[in-house]
């Protein structure tokens, strides 16, 4: 079987890694990896490939950073001749970035089967570009692989035929479980002068948080309080870095002496950092899942989540961006008001095997 796999951005790398490893264990699969180049700097791309043992991409489209429309169009233009040349049996896309929907559209219009890994997740917030990508990709996919039961329910409600939907678990967790012991060798805590687990980790990258001065100001109000209690490590996303450099928010952050800005970290460094944190504050989707397995309290700085299982089992609290609510939730966590969660069904490190088994059986 010929499988053409697509990645484009950092979250995709963690999802494709266990699939590429599983393909290599099978003698009846020819797997090709296409990197669209949606994320292109070393910290967001090349470093992750090396750490996760992902083979060098067979093709790099080198699209780079553009507006949503231009980036999606450029990916489609460059991916089409690749698809025509390789003639795969199936195209596998992961996650919810522009590369996901762009390559998915090209595949189905050329009559190639499409598999979507991490299907069915819904935030119900159409202002999120990722939500649009998720809904559209699911609507055209032939194989929809779900990480949690809510994904199955969402797809059925949207009229997706049941025989296309497969509850397989979470490939992100496959990667985490495989690399957790290796991450222990990281010296990131020493490099950042962190002692014990009395520190917080912060990530911010969503436009709704970093591009809106009022919303970002409220988050910074909360951070001023939290960083007075404990160090807050803040690996700054390239998008966020640009926003901070061109606004007064950057000056506010510089005055927070216990808020430690770093460049984006590699996967193993960041996994070690999260593992030892007292609390994680984030607007990321994947980190809600990772902290669930790491048993680290997560406060999601959004009004919604497309990963409701993390909130249902109590590992994640969706606190929004109101500074009073953020501070209140933070204080509950540090004062012991957080119960250790269980583990969601099938988050056991075997999702990639289930996916490959299904593709081999159905195709």
pLDDT in tens, 30-82: 999 999 998 766 656 778 888 999 999 999 999 988 888 999 999 999 999 99
Give the C-alpha separation, 56 to 33, whole Å: 8
Q: Could you check whether 2-170+347-362 and 181-334 share the same CATH topology?
A: yes
Domains of the chain: which residue ranges? 2-170+347-362, 181-334
Identify which has the larger pLDDT, 105 or 341.
Answer: 105
pLDDT in tens, 181-237: 999 999 999 999 998 779 999 999 888 998 888 999 999 999 999 999 999 999 998
Integer angstrom CA distances of residue 332 from 196, 198, 320, 341: 20, 15, 15, 16
Give the C-alpha separation, 258 to 249, whole Å: 16
Helices marked H in the chain — which ranges? 10-25, 46-52, 68-86, 98-109, 129-140, 149-157, 171-183, 188-191, 207-210, 213-229, 238-245, 248-254, 267-276, 286-294, 308-312, 323-334, 351-362
The CA R_g of the chain, rounded to the nearest whole Å, is 20
**Does the structural domain 181-334 have CATH classification 3.40.50.2000?**
yes
Query: Residue 114's closest CA among 135, 137, 131, 97?
Result: 137
pLDDT in tens, 312-328: 999 999 999 999 999 99
User: What residues are annotated to the active site?
Assistant: 205
Give the C-alpha separation, 46 to 180, whole Å: 20
Instruction: Say which CATH superfamily domain 2-170+347-362 falls into.
Output: Glycogen Phosphorylase B; (3.40.50.2000)
The pTM score is 0.95
pLDDT in tens, 98-121: 999 999 999 999 999 999 999 999
């Amino acid at each position: 079987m010929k499988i053409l796999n697509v990645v484009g951005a950092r979250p995709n790398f963690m999802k494709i890694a266990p699939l590429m490893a599983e393909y290599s264990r099978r003698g009846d699969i020819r797997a090709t990896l296409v990197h669209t180049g949606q994320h292109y700097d070393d910290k967001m791309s090349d470093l992750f490939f090396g750490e996760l043992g992902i083979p060098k991409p067979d093709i790099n489209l080198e699209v780079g950073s553009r507006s949503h429309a231009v980036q999606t169009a450029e990916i489609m233009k460059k991916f089409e001749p690749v698809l025509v040349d390789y003639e795969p049996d199936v195209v596998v896309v992961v996650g919810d970035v522009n590369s996901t929907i762009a390559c998915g559209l090209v595949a189905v219009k050329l009559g190639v089967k499409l598999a979507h890994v991490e299907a069915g997740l819904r935030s119900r917030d159409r202002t999120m570009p990722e939500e649009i990508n998720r809904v559209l990709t699911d609507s055209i996919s032939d194989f929809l692989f779900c990480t949690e039961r809510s994904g199955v329910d969402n797809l059925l409600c949207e009229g997706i035929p049941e025989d296309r939907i497969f509850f397989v678990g979470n490939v992100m967790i496959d990667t985490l479980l495989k690399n957790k012991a290796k991450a222990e060798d990281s010296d990131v805590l020493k490099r950042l002068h962190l002692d014990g687990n009395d520190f917080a980790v912060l990530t911010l990258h969503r436009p709704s948080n970093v591009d809106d001065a009022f919303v970002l100001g409220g988050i910074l109000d909360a951070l001023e309080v939290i960083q007075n209690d404990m160090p807050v490590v803040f690996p700054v996303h390239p998008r966020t870095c640009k926003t901070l450099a061109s606004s007064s928010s950057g000056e506010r952050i510089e005055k927070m002496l216990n808020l430690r800005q770093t460049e984006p970290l590699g996967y193993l460094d960041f996994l070690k950092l999260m593992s030892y944190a007292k609390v994680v504050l984030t607007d990321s989707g994947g980190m809600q899942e990772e902290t669930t397995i790491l048993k680290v309290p997560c406060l999601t700085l959004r009004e919604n989540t497309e990963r409701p299982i993390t909130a249902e089992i109590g590992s994640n609290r969706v606190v929004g961006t109101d500074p009073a609510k953020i501070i209140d939730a933070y204080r509950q966590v540090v004062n012991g008001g957080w119960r250790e969660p269980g583990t969601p069904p099938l988050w056991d490190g075997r999702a990639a095997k289930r996916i490959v088994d299904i593709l081999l059986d159905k195709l």
